[in-house]
Amino acid sequence: MNNTDWNDYSLETQAIRAGHQRTPEDEHSIPIFATSSYVFKSAEDAALRFTGKIPGNIYSRFTNPTVNAFQERLAFMEKGERCLAFSSGMAAIMAVGMGLLKAGDHVICSRSVFGNTVLVFQNYFAKFGVETDFVDLIDTKAWEAAIKSNTRFLFLETPSNPLIEIADIKALADIAHAHDSLLIVDNCFCTPVLQKPFELGADIVIHSATKYIDGQGRCVGGAVIASDEIIEKYIYPYLRTGGATMSPFNAWVFLSGLETLAIRMKAHCDNAFELAKWLETQPNVAKVHYPGLSSHAQHDLAKRQQTQFGGIVSFELKGGKDAAWQLIDSTKMISITANLGDVKTTITHPATTTHGRLSPEARAEAGIKDGLVRISVGLESIEDIKNDLIKGLA
């Protein structure tokens, strides 16, 4: 069936069936097209394909059928017009900046984004005359106050890492659009299963496919989804020239990841919610950060904006860093790793790993206490996850 028809289907169906253009071999599963180049029918055919006057594959830096299938499938799921895949989530973020920004532009970025995203703006785009202001994710007024006449875009992740704060996407999209600027949402934590930023007014959605989209910790990849116009004018020319391309093998892994994404996300959320409620009853836990809890400051916003509350839980131990390290070292099953979105539960101490390069003052300002522990809740039995934590919590 024709690809455009998938718009009428639900996300669960799109995730399994959209994007595959069956070849004359009648294969049921999407093949890996391990080819760098393609053969043209004639000199004229080659010339026409290069100018884009007729469609068709040219060279796998920017056209590959397996990568294309991944792009089409993810675009349907996000309810976006067009998707381009990249070699990593950071490559996707880099591409958005390289495509959209020029010297003299201004960016507003949430203070609570992935560490390397901060560095991209602070260390690299700054070198080329792009100024970035970092603001508090949930302080909508601070975003508005930071807007300048040359603000090209606002950039955020929601929920944030590691404090799981929720930004009001709709309010920030309205602010961006009132000032002729764009809203970019890194939707890595929620995936389209839990949150659809375009329906709330976002202009560009970014993914690290490395996390929930793969879901089993095997490949690194990323994606940018936006309108045809934005992709065609700003992102595709950069991908074609800059070359941070997703490999066909990785696209094939991510395609099968998408097929189980909806049921995995539901199971991640169920386990995480259960763990968060249980942690709240533990005497040595000072605070649990999980948007499903009514104690969470943006619980109502999370309920409106997301279908479920996500797979990441963080919590503060009364005993500070020593208690946090002790808990982490007492686990037998849970993996000590900073990766997230895996079927395997992982545990980290943000203050000495992902956020260890921040000064103690900057960490305090970001609200990341020494007793904070972050868990990416996997799909093992929730009883086994609790049992692995119970000794260290005592």
Binding site for ligand PLP (CB under 6 A): 88-90, 114, 157, 186, 188, 208, 210-211, 220, 222
Q: What is the DSSP string of 175-234?
A: HHHHTT-EEEEE-TTTHHHH--GGGGT-SEEEEETTTTTT-SS----EEEEE-HHHIIII
User: Which helix H or strand E contains 152, and what residues bound it?
Assistant: strand 151-157
* 296 vs 374, beta carbon nearer ligand PLP: 374
Shortest spacing between CB 87 and ligand PLP, in angstroms: 8
Shortest spacing between CB 325 and ligand PLP, in angstroms: 23
Closest CA to 291 of 271, 275, 281, 276: 276
Q: What's the rounded Cα separation, in Å, for the pair 54 and 68? A: 16
* 52 vs 356, beta carbon nearer ligand PLP: 356
Residue 58 in tokens:
């040219």
* 218 vs 318, beta carbon nearer ligand PLP: 218
* 32 vs 220, beta carbon nearer ligand PLP: 220
Q: What's the rounded Cα separation, in Å, for the pair 57 and 49? A: 8
Shortest spacing between CB 383 and ligand PLP, in angstroms: 28
Shortest spacing between CB 85 and ligand PLP, in angstroms: 11
Shortest spacing between CB 208 and ligand PLP, in angstroms: 3
SS3 356: coil
* 144 vs 186, beta carbon nearer ligand PLP: 186
- Residue 64 has, within 13 A of its CA and on its CB side, a CA count of 27
DSSP assigned state of 241: H
* 317 vs 340, beta carbon nearer ligand PLP: 340
70 within 8 A of 246, measured Cβ to Cβ: yes
Shortest spacing between CB 186 and ligand PLP, in angstroms: 5
Other Cβ atoms within 10 Å of 284 Cβ, number: 15
* 20 vs 210, beta carbon nearer ligand PLP: 210
Other Cβ atoms within 10 Å of 22 Cβ, number: 11
* 64 vs 88, beta carbon nearer ligand PLP: 88
Residue 189: phi, psi to the nearest 5?
A: -70, -35
* 84 vs 382, beta carbon nearer ligand PLP: 84
Other Cβ atoms within 10 Å of 331 Cβ, number: 17
**CA 248 to chain CA centroid, nearest Å:** 20
**CA 316 to chain CA centroid, nearest Å:** 25
Shortest spacing between CB 13 and ligand PLP, in angstroms: 27
Shortest spacing between CB 301 and ligand PLP, in angstroms: 19
In this structure, the dihedral spanned by the alpha carbons of residues 361, 364, 368 and 371, taken in order and rounded to 10 degrees, is 100
Shortest spacing between CB 224 and ligand PLP, in angstroms: 12
User: Which helix H or strand E contains 89, and what residues bound it?
Assistant: helix 89-100
- Please list, in sequence order, all residues whose beta carbon lies within 8 angstroms of the beta carbon of residue 199, skipping any fewer than 6 positions away: 79
Residue nearest to ligand PLP (CB): 89
* 211 vs 289, beta carbon nearer ligand PLP: 211
Shortest spacing between CB 382 and ligand PLP, in angstroms: 23
* 208 vs 314, beta carbon nearer ligand PLP: 208
338 within 8 A of 332, measured Cβ to Cβ: no
Shortest spacing between CB 284 and ligand PLP, in angstroms: 28
